[in-house]
Amino acid sequence: MILHDLINYEILRLIWWLLLGVLLIGFAVTDGFDLGTGILLPFAGRNDIERRVIINSVGPVWEGNQVWLILGGGAIFAAWPQLYAVSFSGFYLAMFAILVALILRPVAFKFRSKREDPSWRARWDAVLFISGFVPALIFGVAIGNVLRGVPFRLSPDMHIFYDGTFFGLLNPFAVLCGLVSVAMLVMHGAAWLQLKTQGPVADRARRFGSVAAIATVVLYALAGYAMWRWIDGYQVTSVQPVDGPSNPLLKTAVVQQGAWFANYAARPWLWAAPALGFVGALIALAGLQLRREVLTILASALSIAGIILSVGASMFPFILPSSIDPRASLTVWDSSSSDLTLFIMLVVTVVFIPLIVAYTSWVYHVLWGKVDADAIRDERGHAY
């Protein structure tokens, strides 16, 4: 408990806010190329062998990549229970659509090659495309709605009331954010296919990936302009203790135009996050054109990290603002679990995250190399 005494409640809350960002980035970077590859499947693969090459490029690793999604959901549940309650109940139908897509993906992987009927395989290919496109779009739409503010309120006894609808989530700004998400994951999927495949598949992936990289830059810029021009931010207007109780209603907050850019004005070094989003995508574009495989995958990963970090940098200390009652908005300082809970979770995280990273790194090392189309034809060593 001596270590616990050295890490106060404020630092623990800040650490878990940062860890939440790390887990989201880990999911977007690892499972992101799985989703992007699924979206590219009908376009980069023109025949059955080429599509099997694409599927087998992610087949051995996609399940392991899902770990980051599980960790992220678990972290939200344990470290930020109010965030979990509001988001998973308010976005229930959206989350259900993502869940259905993620359940269909392993079914498609397993069943696609069970029969040689072209129509059978074409249907499962469509499922793989949908199971890549739908989560990529909805995750981005969710972020767009978080930036706009979510229509929820809290009663004095902390009961949550969500007053929005599913179709209300599909507003223009949120859809624009969804398109940013789709574009950046297609770029990442193309970078992965350039790394893992060769011949016509890699060539087509480079073409589509180049378009996606340009679209990422353009759409991300449009989203930033829209957020500055039309999307109001939120600002806490009362003194908020950083080690106070987890009760959002103890503060006051207002909606204010340009508030999401206040952190950048106060701390100019935060501009590094959106700059990384733009520069990473441009380097990935150059890497695709120059066929620099490792550079491209690293650059696309950095672009994804920068885009996600820019959202966190804009909103801090807000985690989930309320468009109905700004006072009920959840912040880093008033919506976390207890001091002891955060500390115990941090100890567990310090032990297990390095193990997960080490194991994942070993798996990727063992599976390093390109998927061979000839081996696919001969049924040698490929499961899908």
Nearest to 231 by CA among 250, 206, 256: 256
Record the pTM: 0.94
Q: Is 258 or 180 the better-scoring residue by pLDDT?
A: 180
> What confidence tens digit (pLDDT) does each residue in 68-97 have?
888 888 889 999 999 999 988 888 888 999
Give me the pLDDT at residue 375, please: 76
The string of pLDDT tens digits covering residues 353-366 is: 899 889 888 988 88
Q: What is the mean pLDDT of the chain?
A: 92
Per-residue b or e along 177-200, where b marks 16 or more CB atoms closer than 10 Å to that residue's CB: bbbbbbbbbbbbbbbbbbbbbeee
pLDDT at 179 over 90: yes
Interval 280-299: pLDDT, tens: 999 999 999 999 999 999 99
Torsion of CA 330, 331, 335, 337, to 10 degrees: 150
- What is the mean predicted confidence (pLDDT) over 191-215? 96
Question: How confident is the model at residue 359, as a pLDDT?
Answer: 87
Q: In terms of DSSP bridges, do strands 232-236 and 253-257 run parallel, antiparallel, or are they unpaired?
A: antiparallel
Give the pLDDT of residue 4: 59
Torsion, Cα of 121, 126, 131, 135 (10° steps)? 170
Summarised one tens digit per residue, pLDDT across range 310-329 is 999 999 999 999 999 999 99
178: pLDDT strictly greater than 90: yes
Question: Nearest-CA neighbor of 194 among 301, 62, 287, 60?
Answer: 287
In this prediction, residue 379 carries a pLDDT of 66
- Which residues have a Cβ under 8 Å from the Cβ of 95 and sit 6 or more positions away? 88
pLDDT band at 3 (very low <50, low <70, confident <90, very high): low
pLDDT score at 5:
64
Q: What is the rounded average pLDDT of the residues 138-147?
A: 96
What's the pLDDT band for 1 if we cut at 50, 70, 90? Answer: low
